Chains A and B, each alone.
Chain A
């Protein structure tokens, strides 16, 4: 029974990280209809920034995470301004190619500075909590709580503030947003910044129980795409629920079937769910 609960904790941990990454991806897709393949690279840069702040500048884990979030937010805004904005009227294939270009560029830059070695980000939360035999490492608990707080904060921002509501408005009707005087550029920049912050925080939370290396974003972004396709492109609840589904499937599949097949499970689920519900689980379109 304890092993079962252990898998629940593992599922929650993975689901939280996947959910955070997928949220950023789905927000950007929702307003700009860009599948941002570079999102995984932002995640990777987020981990490296935290690593840099902690090992080279010697700051505390929290400060490093905040610094990383700020740097990646600016980086995401730059991607929007310098790459996606100028391409807004080009054929749709162009921004997809550009996104892959950003991905390759960021990986090359990181490799130039840090090489391709695997590195370890040490978090101050190395303890282990024991709840009557159920063992939860502190970092995993931090991931679950951190993701939960972030998702609630994002929801409050999107639902309760006028500025946040512009993102939802833009996603539901671009023309409607123009008619009420919403500035499309502002919303685009804000959405990219939020997606950057989510990616950087997810990476900084997950890196201490994983490794930091230039290709670390690949598998995460592939799974984030699976998640937003499952959840319905552009759907916020879909990204969170999809993240949890994939996280739990991997944790339990890895435990009860084999860890060797862990990474296949997400893609297997994608095939399975799309054959039953091709529009995704939470697809928009309630008219």
Chain B
């Protein structure tokens, strides 16, 4: 579904990503592990069209994404839920969700149906629908962010550290919801530092260090790998 071949990204003279090649197949839940500054966000922004790769090729269902405008990438079905949520803080929760349907704005009937599905995933948002998104707790804001991304009807959903800064109980719930979204048919690419919880719901994982992919494998291999355990799980 998503294929990256030898992707490089430079910020001026600094090489943020070097020779990244990876694939995500339809229906998979793929996790990208890595420390802060490893290049996970840069990689996601390159896929979303927010940064231009300096080399290599990014393909999504045989369409070339490199150099495409961010709006075209979203219309194409690749939607990112970014780190830090990037909500519209003074808009209500409902308005935030509806803005997620911007690329499908002509299909009002479909959007209404989709909104109900999203509210089924996050029932608490229904009570908060008219509150400004900026006034919600961190966990609820993260739900709005994921809900807004789901409103764009992604075929590939990219989640950048959705558990960042959330309470442990909320984190567990968040991973359960991500698993649910995946099992309902959306392919998921997930960046996480919470390696153990992420690997438990993943099909496969990649490990990134200093802008390079250094390891990959399926869930069991990764969970059993000594280096991964030492570096990311701490056990």
Contacts and interface: CB of A to CB of B under 8 A. Distances in A.
Interface of A: 162-163, 165-166, 168-169, 172-173, 175-176, 178-183, 284, 286-287
A180 B148 contact: yes
Contacts of A287: 89, 134-135
A36 B70 CA distance: 27
A181 B103 contact: yes
Contacts of B80: 179
A53 B48 CA distance: 48
Given A179-B81, A287-B134, A172 B48 contact: no
Given A165-B99, A181-B74, A286 B91 contact: no
Contact of A178 (B50, B91, B134): B50
Interface in B72-111: 73-75, 79-82, 86-91, 95, 98-100, 102-103, 105
B152 interface: yes
Contact of A172 (B69, B90, B100): B90
Contacts of A176: 86-88, 99
B69 A183 contact: yes
Contact of A179 (B74, B90, B91, B135): B74
Contact of B89 (A166, A173, A175): A173
Q: Is the interface of A mostly helix, strand, loop or mixed?
A: helix
B148 A286 contact: no
Contacts of B82: 175, 179
Given A166-B102, A175-B86, A284-B90, A180 B95 contact: no
Contact of B71 (A162, A165, A181, A286): A181
B74 A286 contact: no
Nearest to B87: A176
A166 to B, nearest CB: 7
A179 B151 CA distance: 12
15 contacts: A166-B102, A169-B88, A169-B91, A169-B99, A172-B90, A173-B89, A176-B87, A179-B48, A179-B79, A179-B148, A181-B73, A181-B152, A182-B102, A287-B89, A287-B135
Nearest to B151: A180
B152 A180 contact: yes
Interface of B: 48, 50, 69-71, 73-75, 79-82, 86-91, 95, 98-100, 102-103, 105, 132, 134-135, 148-149, 151-152
B91 A172 contact: yes
Given A169-B99, A286-B134, A182 B89 contact: no
Given A180-B102, A181-B103, A172 B132 contact: no
Nearest to B105: A162
A179 B102 CA distance: 10
Nearest to A162: B105
A169 B88 CA distance: 6
A173 B87 contact: yes
A125 to B, nearest CB: 39
Contact of A181 (B70, B81, B86, B134): B70
Given A162-B105, A181-B70, A286 B89 contact: yes
Contacts of B70: 178-179, 181
Contact of B88 (A162, A173, A286): A173
Contacts of A175: 50, 82, 86
Given A165-B95, A175-B82, A287-B134, A180 B103 contact: yes
A12 to B, nearest CB: 29
Most A C-beta atoms less than 10 A away, residue of B74, B81, B88, B103: B88
Nearest to A174: B86
Contact of A182 (B50, B71, B98, B132): B71
